[in-house]
Amino acid sequence: MPKTVAKHPTLRDVAALAGVSHQTVSRVVNDVPGVTPETRSVVEQAIAQLGFRPHAIARSMAEGRTRTLACLAPNLTDFTYASNIEGAETIARQHGYFLLSASYGTDGAGRDQQFEGLIDALVERRRVDGLIVISPNVDLPVRLLPADFPVVLMGGCPRVDVANLVYLDNRSDAALATGHLLELGHTRIGQITGPLREDCSQERDAGYLQALETAGIAHEPGLTVQGDWSATSGYEAFQILFNRAPGMTAVVVQNDRMAVGVIRAARDAGVTVPADLSVIGFDDMPLASYFDPPLTTMRQDTFAIGRTCAERLIAILDSGEPAHPPVRLASELVIRGSTARPAIRPDDLGTSA
């Protein structure tokens, strides 16, 4: 009775068939020099004949690394996160790594807890070699992550105290957005922010304030309303702003989804964009140019951000390159149809010139 063939042949099965030691097979598989062409050929035939494939887990076990990276994000569906992830995944695979992605849930309670659970399962139990963390608050990972584990952070503001940070300079981006409105001649410019507990919202707010100040325009706190990134919240924020400050001619909206909500609310209130109100968003989300009017927005190359994160992480892993200083990524102003010069209103006539 012939020995039952194991479902998956091992190095030793190949070795037995080729009449060499399993070690030699290992050398052939890993392209290690020091194997005669003849031996190599015999082994290769045996490998082919048996359909041998090295066992990735066994290899991880012996090598002490998994060739797997993980990316943690608040969710996997928002286009910005999804494209970060896709960018990272592309680079990872190009370098022989896989990318495991996990979301750590919606805001509020449980978030930290879920994040910690993820760190435990992925990092402490050494399931992955490195981590990319996308977090609305850089503090979260900084606080919860072990210091000696390879991590690249994707953040929304510069932080000199944080190594391996790839960040968007939201402050200057927002200043640029506000500057665009200022240049068009707007002076009463409102703002709709994301949740103010997020770095990104804070930074953009700071940039907005900074641009106003540079232009010598007094800041009206009542002109800023907080949203939650959703189109609905943009809709509601506009209504508040509209009642509060009918003279407002432009709004900086901290993301495109809310901007779309603003445009809808404006129309419902009889306000025409951009004739009566200029609206600028952030992200340049897919189809931003297909709304009515097409959205003027601050575009971010989110794929490139994901790629950069993965490149940095792999450099640390493969080349033993140590922690690197923060990398700043640029945004780009995309002018479309939702912004224009302010209309000259009857009551403005007296004050001009």
Q: Which residues bind its own copies (CB under 8 A)?
A: 8, 53-58, 60-61, 66, 68, 75-77, 79, 82-83, 85-86, 89-90, 93, 98-103, 120-122, 124-127, 231, 257, 260-261, 264, 286-287, 290-292
Tokens describing residue 59 = 């290899």
Residue 152 interacting with DNA (CB under 7 A): no
Alpha helices (H) along the chain: 11-18, 22-29, 37-50, 56-63, 79-94, 111-119, 139-144, 170-184, 199-214, 231-244, 256-268, 302-318
- Are 225 and 233 within 8 A, CB to CB? no
* Alpha-carbon span 132 to 115, nearest angstrom: 13
CB of 32 to DNA, least distance (A): 8
- Provide the CA 262 distance to its chain's centre, in angstroms: 24
Nearer to its own copies, 158 or 227 (CB): 227
Given DNA, its own copies, none, residue 29, with its beta carbon under 5 to 8 Å by kind, binds DNA
Name the amino acid, one letter, at 76.
L
- Provide the CA 109 distance to its chain's centre, in angstroms: 22
Query: H or E element: which one contains 99?
Result: strand 98-103
Given DNA, its own copies, none, residue 26, with its beta carbon under 5 to 8 Å by kind, binds DNA
Given DNA, its own copies, none, residue 22, with its beta carbon under 5 to 8 Å by kind, binds DNA
- Are 68 and 128 within 8 A, CB to CB? yes
- Interaction mask 40-79, DNA, x per CB under 7 A: x-----------x-xx--xx-xxxx---------------
Residue 12 interacting with DNA (CB under 7 A): yes
Residue 22 interacting with DNA (CB under 7 A): yes
Residues of this chain that bind DNA (CB under 7 A)? 6, 8, 10-12, 19-24, 26-27, 29-30, 33-36, 38-40, 52, 54-55, 58-59, 61-64
